[in-house]
Homo-oligomer: A and B are copies of this chain.
Amino acid sequence: MEHTLAALAAFLGGELKGPPSLVIRGINSLDRATSQEIAFVAHKRYLAKAEASRAAALIVSPEWAHLPRPLIIVPQPYLAYARLAALFAPAPPRRVGVSPQAFLGQGVQVGREVAVAPLAFVGDRVRLGDRVTIGPGCVLADDVVIGPDTLLHPNVTVLERCQIGARCLIHSGVVIGSDGYGFVPTPEGHVKIPQLGAVVIEDDVEIGANCTIDRGALEETRLGRGAKLDNLVHLAHNVSVGEHSLLVAQVGVAGSTRLGKRVVLGGQAGVVGHIELGDGVQVAAQAGVVSSVPPGQVVAGSPAIPHKEALRVAGHLRKLPELAQRVKELERKLAELTRLLAKE
């Protein structure tokens, strides 16, 4: 695939500085770009690399418009990079049609230009929207619904009655609709509470490899539009994730907790059940959130407290041995003073 520099500038809505007919065959990092590839400068700390780069052209913000190189000048080079990378990305391999080596249940509805790979399993009454891609090894249980343009990478499991919206991207090993973890303790053992709800995933959601999303007990577990989950994230039954929230790798959210819109959970953070995190809440990596958090607040630590307070506590914590030493010294001095005064 190749594009002229002028075509790329037009695609990005950016300002062209340099030979319009220059041919660009790919995008790469400043270090690795060849003389046929374009690279981008997202921060001034990369300027030295930019000067040393062999790239054919650079995408820069207006402040670096003076660089003596073929340039495309845009307000947000990082966003431009994302868009150009999509342009140059190899088209995902899609073999349109339902493979004869897939298993197709009864009453399946298949949209236009759907690709169901060999060794995929599609249960009864499943509905696949237009241009859906189902990778090899995927299992869609009965009554699953997948919206148009959604891509399931290989070995994804979607259990009975779960629904996935349009333009979603589900990575390999993800399990959607496993039973929520609910038991009633009795002297004879734990009695299972059947999990009768489902999982509803709205449009434009991305779910990282080997995540597990449990179905609701009676109601639904829900991921809002545009939410993005990294790998190995666990969502328990009845959890609700707000639109455009970001859950970084290995996060766990316990049952019935509600995350607002644009919430960010850092890697390995945990959130207890039955609480609410308001819109825009940010949780630091490895934090343990044990109570509801009002909108916009940033929290850290385990148990989590406001981030600034957590930083202050952490700073003092590291000096705790010294503080203990100072207290010991105070005790010594005070005892000495008291002894002296007693003598007088």
Contacts and interface: CB of A to CB of B under 8 A. Distances in A.
Q: Please classify how large the interface on chain A is, using the bins under 10, 10 to 19, 20 to 34, 35 or more.
A: 35 or more
Interface string A194-215: 1010000000101011101010
Interface in A198-244: 204, 206, 208-210, 212, 214, 217-219, 225-226, 228, 230-232, 234, 236, 243-244
A331 B326 contact: yes
Interface string A54-69: 0000000000000000
Contacts of A21: none
Contact of A103 (B118, B321, B337): B118
Contact of A190 (B196, B226, B270): B226
Given A86-B192, A137-B137, A181-B231, A268 B267 contact: no
A123 B154 CA distance: 12
A321 B331 contact: no
A309 interface: yes
Contacts of A263: none
Given A181-B248, A183-B246, A268-B270, 15 more contacts: A82-B191, A82-B193, A93-B141, A137-B137, A137-B157, A155-B157, A172-B178, A178-B209, A230-B234, A272-B285, A286-B302, A327-B327, A333-B334, A334-B337, A337-B338
B123 A93 contact: yes
B249 A234 contact: yes
14 contacts: A29-B219, A79-B186, A79-B191, A82-B193, A103-B118, A119-B119, A139-B172, A181-B231, A189-B225, A210-B232, A267-B270, A272-B285, A316-B324, A326-B327
Interface string A153-192: 1110101100000000101110100110111101001111
A55 B218 CA distance: 14
A109 interface: no
A116 interface: no
B171 A178 contact: yes
Given A27-B218, A154-B141, A179 B171 contact: yes
A82 B234 CA distance: 23
Given A141-B154, A159-B153, A249-B236, A210 B270 contact: no
A231 B249 contact: no
A225 B189 CA distance: 9
Given A193-B82, A226-B189, A218 B32 contact: yes
Interface of A: 27-29, 31-32, 76, 78-79, 81-83, 85-86, 88-90, 93, 101, 103, 117-119, 121, 123-124, 135-137, 139, 141-142, 153-155, 157, 159-160, 169, 171-173, 175, 178-179, 181-184, 186, 189-194, 196, 204, 206, 208-210, 212, 214, 217-219, 225-226, 228, 230-232, 234, 236, 243-244, 246, 248-250, 252, 254, 267-268, 270, 272, 285-286, 288, 302-303, 305, 309, 312-314, 316-321, 323-324, 326-327, 330-331, 333-334, 337-338, 340-341
